[in-house]
Chains A and B, each alone.
Chain A
Amino acid sequence: MSQQNAEPDPTDVRSALATLVADEPTLPSGVDDIERRGRRRLARRRLGWAAGAVAAIVGVSLGATALTGGGTPAAPAPVAVAPAPVDGGPAGGSQLAQGFTVDAALRALGTVLPAEQVGDLPMDIGWREGGHLSIPVVAPSGTLTLTIAGGTCTATVDPAGAIGASRLDAIADAICAAWRADGSPAITPAGPAGPEQPDLAAQ
C-alpha cells in the first residue's frame, strides 16, 4: 500500500489544489502599489548604506587624528554621526578631524551622485597634498577626484567620461558650496597614503 518509495501520481492532488484557488478574490492593488513598496525598500537600503559609509568615514577620521595627534589616546568607535561644526572654527578641543572633513565632502557629493554610484571607500581615504580627495565610483567604474585649491573646487574623473561633464560641474559646485558654508576651512591632508602609511606593528 505504501507509496513512499515511488513518486506517486500527483494528478488528484493537483486538481484538489486547483479547487482551493478557484474562488480567488479580485486583486486588491495594482502594480503601482508594488512599485511604491519597492521604492520605499530601495530608499531604506540607500539610507542604511549612506549611514554606514558616514560612520565608517568618521571612524577612519578619528583613527587618523589619533595617529597623528602625538600620543592622544585613540577614541572609541563612534556610534552616531556628530553634526558638522557650524561656527567655522576648528573643532575646539575635540578629536574630530579639523578643516573640511571627508565626511562633509561625501555628504555634498551625495546630493549630486546617487549612493549606489559610489564604490567601496578605501580605509585610507582622506585629503591629500594639493587638496585632492579620491573617491571610487562604479557603473562605470573609475576614480572621482575632488580638488579644493586656490579657493576653487574642481571635480575630475578617470577614465574621462565615466561621469558626464555637466554632472562633474554640479559635483564641483556642491563641494564648493559645502566648503564655503563651512567657512572655507583649510584642507588638512590625512597623512601618507598606501605604502607610505606608518607601520603600526613597528611602532
Chain B
Amino acid sequence: VGEDREGFREYAAARRGHLRRTAYLLCGDWYLADDLVQDALAKLFVHWRRIRSRGEVDPYVRRMLVNGYLATHRRPSRREVTTADLPDRPAPAPAPTDDGTRDLLLRALSELQPSQRTIVVLRYWDDLSIEQTAATLGCSPGNVKSQAARGLNHLRTVLSSAVAAEGGNR
C-alpha cells in the first residue's frame, strides 16, 4: 500500500504541471485548470492500482481531464458566471511576447466548439496522434481529422489577421 501511495505521489508530482497547462489551454482559466487537474488526479487515486497495472495511466488521466472540461460546458451549475465584484488576485506577470496576440489567440480558442478545442489542444499541444485523440474523446479518427483541420484553420486565420493588422499599424 505504501509503495502504491508513493507511486501515485511521484506520478502526480511529475505530471501535474503539464496536465495543468493542457487544462488551461482547454478552459482558458488557471483556477479552473487547477480544479480540473486535481479532480482528474483524485479520480486516478481511486483506481491507481488497477490503472497502473494496465499501463494506462496517462490515457486515463487525460480522459478524465477532458471529460471534466467538457462537463463544465454540459452542466449549467459548473459554468463560469460573471460577477460584478471580482476577488482580489495578483495579476499574472505579462508574458514576454505579449503583444496582444495572446488575447487574440485565447479569444480564437474560445470561439471553437469545446470538442473542437479539445482536439486542437490534444493534437497540437499534447502531440497525440489522430488515433490517440479519437480514443480520448471516443469519436472516429475521421472526425478528429476534420475537426482538427477546421480548428487549425480558424486559429491560423485569426493569427494571420493579427499579423496583417500589426504590419498595417507600422
A residues neighboring B (CB under 8 Å) = 3-5, 7-8, 10, 12-14, 16-17, 19-25, 27-29, 31, 33-35, 37-42, 45
B123 neighbours in A (Cβ, 8 Å): 10
B residues neighboring A (CB under 8 Å) = 5, 8-9, 12-13, 16-17, 20-21, 24-25, 30, 34, 38-39, 41-46, 92-98, 101-102, 105-106, 109, 120-121, 123-125, 145-146, 148-150, 152-153, 155-156, 159
Checking A12, A25, A40, A45 against B159 with a beta-carbon cut-off of 8 angstroms, the contacting residue is A12
When C-beta atoms are compared, the residue in chain B nearest to A14 turns out to be B124
Cα–Cα distance between A46 and B15 once the two chains are bound (Å): 27
Checking A13, A20, A45 against B152 with a beta-carbon cut-off of 8 angstroms, the contacting residue is A13
Contact A23 B94 (CB under 8 A): yes
Cα–Cα distance between A7 and B124 once the two chains are bound (Å): 12
When C-beta atoms are compared, the residue in chain A nearest to B120 turns out to be A13
B12 neighbours in A (Cβ, 8 Å): 31, 34-35
A34 neighbours in B (Cβ, 8 Å): 12, 16, 38, 41-42, 45
Q: Nearest Cβ distance between residue A114 and chain B, in whole angstroms?
A: 11
When C-beta atoms are compared, the residue in chain A nearest to B123 turns out to be A10
Cα–Cα distance between A150 and B167 once the two chains are bound (Å): 95
Checking B5, B8, B17, B102 against A20 with a beta-carbon cut-off of 8 angstroms, the contacting residue is B102
When C-beta atoms are compared, the residue in chain B nearest to A16 turns out to be B105
Cα–Cα distance between A4 and B102 once the two chains are bound (Å): 25
Checking B5, B21, B155 against A16 with a beta-carbon cut-off of 8 angstroms, the contacting residue is B155
Q: A13-B159, A17-B121, A34-B16 are in contact. List 17 more A-B contacts (CB 8 A).
A: A8-B156, A10-B152, A13-B155, A16-B101, A17-B124, A19-B95, A20-B24, A20-B106, A21-B25, A24-B24, A25-B30, A27-B34, A31-B12, A31-B13, A31-B16, A38-B41, A38-B42
Contact A38 B44 (CB under 8 A): yes
Cα–Cα distance between A12 and B160 once the two chains are bound (Å): 10
